Amino acid sequence: MTAVHRPTPVVSSLSQRRDRFLRACRREPVDCTPVWFMRQAGRSLPEYRAVRERASLIEITRDAALCAEVTLQPVERLGVDAAILFADITTPLAGLGVEYDLVEGVGPVIGRPVSTVGDVGRLRAFDAAESVGPLLEAIGLIREASPVPLIGFAGAPFTLACYLVEGRPSREFLATKRLMNEDREAFAALLERLVEMTVAYLRAQVEAGVQAIQLFDSWVGGLSPYDYERSVAPHVRRLFQRLAALDVPTIHFGTGTAGLLHSMAEAGGDVIGLDWRVSLADGWARVPGRAVQGNLDPAALLGPFEAVESQARWILEQTGGRHGHFFNLGHGVLPETDSDDLRRLVDLVHEATVTCGGGGGGPVGDARGRDSDEAAEPVVA
């Protein structure tokens, strides 16, 4: 068997670890590239599986102490540079009066899907304190205990609309696209209602203590550029314009979005998340003036760690020493992932990008510290 190099964890001061992620969001110099993982608190961790033996996902989000415990589990085990609040993308929908269930092996199943402007009109006004009070309480508990920043999050209007219209997870989103094209009034009314809810939900998270927010547009990659620009982008733009007043970094992430990155960046977000279907260099070239997050294929971690290391170093090389990159997967951690490999990946990224005196956080030997607007961009065909 080929010996695998095991990186020595980078020894950093508490202040460096606390600031690393937020500095990268602002495209400022860091001591090494920060790392966090989408779905880092979840089924890949044995301590999370132990919690799930006594509580459902919904029950965890409605118990402040339990939610805080699960959110903090990967911070301790994996050594990541940010925590992300443990919740489901559909968590705030109950505050609209939507009845749904999280079905194991299926996902969110909506009791009464939305199909008309009348259905939109029946949605309740969202009250964060009433709807997600325990989640907001958990934020305070996490902030007291966490050595790293806390990310809050919400689903983007289009992705939430897909759940509400389809009634359950879909691959084609035919009912949603039909509504978007046949009844533009109803579709626009639904997205506007979801914008209002999301602004209130994220404002409450920031007021409770989260230090950055990520907007997950998990299903937006199913849209053509025409449909995104015409029917979705105006709502997302208004959402980010209103989030600007919260004065925290914003991350805009979607999957299957290589063809939409420029439009997504124009819609908003201080940081643009890249999935694994585009190279980091190519993706960054499409969103000039922004920090980027990404973008290792989550499935790579199901194979030998030699392959993980090779791909991770390839991604890091594409930063060119520019400020404003933090390492993540291109989507969420898969349940089958070995948590020890996640820890080794964190250590690898830290060690490979450590700088002397707070450089660019790029690979060792290339700490030029260039801003993403000033760096030589690769040619994009």
Count CB neighbours of 61 within 10 A: 21
**What pLDDT is attached to residue 7?**
56
Q: Which of 63, 88, 119, 227 is labelled catalytic?
A: 88
Q: Which of 52, 124, 143, 343 is labelled catalytic?
A: 52
**What pLDDT is attached to residue 18?**
86
Distance CA 39, CA 253 (A): 14
Please name which of 190, 276, 169, 202 lies closest in space to residue 232, comparing C-alpha atoms: 190
CA distances from residue 65 to 3, 122, 137, 209 in whole angstroms, order as listed: 42, 33, 8, 16
Does 39 qualify as catalytic in the annotation? Answer: yes
Res 128 pLDDT > 80: yes
Q: Which of 48, 100, 163, 201 is labelled catalytic?
A: 163
Does 43 qualify as catalytic in the annotation? Answer: yes
| CATH architecture of the domain covering 35-306+324-330 | Alpha-Beta Barrel (3.20)
Tell me the pLDDT tens digit for each residue of 328-358: 999 999 999 999 999 999 999 999 999 744 4
Find out whether 120 and 165 touch, Cβ atoms under 8 Å: no
Residue 169 confidence class, pLDDT cut points 50, 70, 90 = confident
Burial annotation 354-377 (CB, 10 A radius, 16+ → b, else e)? bbeebbbbbbeebbebbebeebee
Distance CA 197, CA 217 (A): 15
CA distances from residue 37 to 2, 34, 139, 182, 315 in whole angstroms, order as listed: 27, 10, 19, 38, 15
User: Is the whole-model pTM more than 0.85?
Assistant: yes
Q: Which of 18, 43, 143, 230 is labelled catalytic?
A: 43
Does 88 qualify as catalytic in the annotation? Answer: yes
Q: Please provide the DSSP assignment of 8-60 as one string.
A: PPP---HHHHHHHHHHHHTT---SS--B--TT-SSTTSHHHHHHHTT--HHHH
Q: Which of 20, 23, 27, 39 is labelled catalytic?
A: 39
